[in-house]
Amino acid sequence: MASTADIKNGVVINIDGQLWSVIEFQHVKPGKGGAFVRTKLKNIMTGKVVDKTYNAGAKIETENVDRRDYQYLYNDGSGFVFMDTSDYDQITVPSEIVGDAANFMLENQMATVAMNNGNPLYVELPASVVLEITYTEPGLQGDRSTGGTKPATVETGYQIQVPLFLETGTRVKVDTRTGDYLGRVTD
């Protein structure tokens, strides 16, 4: 057991069997009355954000979350297989836990997997990834970047909106949190 003095950004707290990550915290000492800690917590599984206040010195239950970098290998139908590059151990993360990250994962790409007591909690990708457009309608003469957008399918099978002038085979940078087009990649 820990106390409210141990609350810091990133600490994971167990509340009624659910894991919550501390996004923000503030120790408050009002002129009258006892001190307290105001926190903003994010549910690790659902992503729901709530505000919670604790009296100073209250006991809280912290959880140990191990965040390690893994290499994504392949999808075996029942889940996604990742390999720890330091010891070559492989783990399978169920599709429900990977969630929307699957739209942006390519084989051999690095990702952070958070584990708690040997159970995967979530998969975290870099803020942006580079993907190749595998299909989009051809651009027409006069299409410019300030025009509109059109749908394009990237190599993972996910569909994003891109400017009208982009063509099949173009490599683009995509935001993994929102799925937004960030720009062309020339290399």
**Structure confidence by residue, pLDDT tens digits, 30-62:** 988 899 999 999 888 787 899 999 998 899 999
**Structure confidence by residue, pLDDT tens digits, 98-107:** 888 889 998 9
Residue 13 domain boundaries: 2-63
Judgement on whether residues 53 and 6 belong to the same structural domain of the protein: yes
**In the predicted structure, residue 164 carries a pLDDT above the cut 90:** no
Judgement on whether residues 43 and 89 belong to the same structural domain of the protein: no
CATH number at residue 134: 2.40.50.140
User: How many domains are there within the chain?
Assistant: 3
Judgement on whether residues 15 and 58 belong to the same structural domain of the protein: yes
Judgement on whether residues 80 and 49 belong to the same structural domain of the protein: no
Last residue of a domain, one of 63, 84, 110: 63
Judgement on whether residues 92 and 48 belong to the same structural domain of the protein: no
Judgement on whether residues 118 and 133 belong to the same structural domain of the protein: no
**Predicted local confidence at residue 165, as pLDDT:** 82
- pTM greater than the 0.95 cutoff: no
CATH number at residue 17: 2.30.30.30
Last residue of a domain, one of 63, 80, 107: 63
Last residue of a domain, one of 102, 124, 146: 124
HEC profile for the chain?
A: CEEHHHCCCCCEEEECCEEEEEEEEEEECCCCCCCEEEEEEEECCCCCEEEEEEECCCEECEECCEEEEEEEEEECCCEEEEEECCCCCEEEEEHHHHHHHHHHCCCCCEEEEEEECCEEEEEECCCEEEEEEEEECCCCCCCCCCCCEEEEEECCCCEEEEECCCCCCCEEEEECCCCCEEEECCC
Judgement on whether residues 76 and 59 belong to the same structural domain of the protein: no
